[in-house]
Structure formats: structure tokens, C-alpha cells
Amino acid sequence: MAGAAVSIVSTDALRSRAAADPKAAIKEAAKQFEAIFMQEVMKSMRQATLASGMLDNAGTQLGTEMLDTQLASQMTGLRGGLGDVIARQLERQTGVASTSTPTRAAPARPVPTAGSTPLEGGFSQTNGKERQLGFLQSNLSAARAAEADTGIPATFMLAQAAQETGWGQREIRNADGSSANNLFGIKAGSGWKGAVTEVTTTEFVDGQPRKMTQRFRAYASAADSFRDYAQLMKGNGRYTQVLASAGSAERFAQGLQAAGYATDPAYADKLGRVINTALRLQRVAA
């Protein structure tokens, strides 16, 4: 029931919120599931308690129900509680990106490697289907060209670009604010002779996040970014197994992480979820 302390949002309201802000809708739905569960727990506890019968009446029963609702409200929404568990499960099932900003460390190697996602302020984390489909469609031609060059399915690369850029909302920027068109977060090592841009990133160093300035490659177009990514996969021996396992989304994602593309321990899982989202969107659009 909808008590005074626990407000149950209507299904239509949740649908409307999900279209505008999936993360907020998931959090609200998880909170409601937790509230209902806690109310049922309190109800079961009351039923298991022997009543004296002397003072039991409709008034005391209503008061007890209101008290149970209040207690359930106080036990709902706690950090690390059932609501958080439900929210994480819903995010995995729906393919909504994790609430934490994906970051990764720069390996201490002279070989140019993929870098961390820059901390760009002011971007929306809304993952609407129209925007996601637009991102996939706008980069599909470049991804298919890279697929012909590497054997990596275009959808896998599109998903990785979506993971790195927040579906285009978290692009690496040049000093003048223009896009660096670096869709894969590839850093500019000592051997890189092209254009570069410097941005502040959060890196994992010895398992701890640190903010630092890093140099990233800058491209004239998104297609150039896909071409350079393909060259990195083919020309760097670290990614030999990635190319060999490109037939499986799971092995592809795990291979990238094992090869040192990212030091985020959850990178493979996050990328796997985005790949599944991209595949679902392509099936819908087909």
C-alpha cells in the first residue's frame, strides 16, 4: 500500500522519467521495490506475533499499519541496502551505464595505448534510445571499414566508442573546445606524430584514482579515429589475442582488459553490457 511515509510513483510517471533520465528512474523503481519488500517483512512479523485480543480493534490495526509503514520507510534507501542491489541489477539488465565515471590508468609503456575517459563537465548521462541509435548510425560506416580491416565486428567497436565517450556525450576536447574526434581514448605516446590535446583525467594508479593531465591523440574526423584504432589493434602485438577472439563479445571485452587497454577492473563487464545494448538497438532498428 502507499503509506504516508512511502510514496509509490505511478507506472506512467516512471515511464516518463525513464525516457528522460533512465538512471533516476531505475533508482526510484529500486527504492519502491525495497519499500514494498520491507512493508511485507513488517506485515509478516506482525502476523507471526501473538495478539492478546484485549485492545485489538480497527483503530489499533490502522495505527499499527501506519507505524509499520513508517518503520519500512526508515529502513528503505540506506546506502548498500537492498535498493542499491536492485538498482545495480536493473542497470545490468537494461544496459544503462554505471553511475561511476569510467576511468583507467595509463600503462607505463612507450607504446601508445588507450587512455582514460576525460572528466568533461556539464554532460548529461541520459541514455535515450534515439541518441544511442544516432551515435551508432553516425559512426556505422567508419566502423564497418575498420571491421573489414581488422575482423572485429563493427558493433563491438561502436560499443567500445560508446563506452569511451558516454554515447558521444563525453568526448575528448581540444583547447578551443572543439572535438578531438578521439572516440577510443587513445593516448599520444612518444611515437605519435599527429595532433594532440591535453585533458585532465582520473587515472587508476596502484588501484587508487588520481587526477592528472594526459596527452591524447586528436583526429580530423571520427572516421580517422576508427582507422587509427584499427591500426593500433593490428600493429600492436599486445592485441593479437583480442583480434583472435573477436568472434565473441565476452572474450573480446575480456581480451582488451587482459591486454592492458584499461586498468579499470570492471572495464570488461561494462563494455560487455554496452555491446549487448548496441546489439539490441541494432535489432530494433533493423
Q: What amino acid positions are annotated as catalytic residues?
A: 203, 228
Q: What distance in Å separates the CA atoms of residue 191 and residue 110, rounded to the nearest whole number? A: 8
Q: What distance in Å separates the CA atoms of residue 110 and residue 221, rounded to the nearest whole number? A: 25
Which pLDDT score, from 0 to 100, does residue 106 have? Answer: 39
Which pLDDT score, from 0 to 100, does residue 93 have? Answer: 66
Q: Which three cell numbers stand for residue 12?
A: 506512467
Which pLDDT score, from 0 to 100, does residue 17 have? Answer: 62
Which pLDDT score, from 0 to 100, does residue 184 have? Answer: 97
Which pLDDT score, from 0 to 100, does residue 111 have? Answer: 38
Residues of the chain predicted below pLDDT 50: 1-7, 50, 98-127
Look up the pTM and report it.
Answer: 0.57
Q: What distance in Å separates the CA atoms of residue 117 and residue 80, rounded to the nearest whole number? A: 26
The residue type found at 91 is E
Which pLDDT score, from 0 to 100, does residue 115 have? Answer: 42
Sign of the dihedral through C-alpha 235, 238, 241, 245: negative
Write the pLDDT tens digit of every residue in 51-104.
Answer: 555 556 666 666 667 666 766 666 666 666 677 777 777 676 666 654 444 444
Q: 129-285: which CATH topology?
A: Lysozyme (1.10.530)
Write the pLDDT tens digit of every residue in 250-274.
Answer: 999 999 999 999 878 889 999 999 9
Per domain, the residue ranges of the chain are 11-94, 129-285
Q: Which three cell numbers stand for residue 163?
A: 563506452
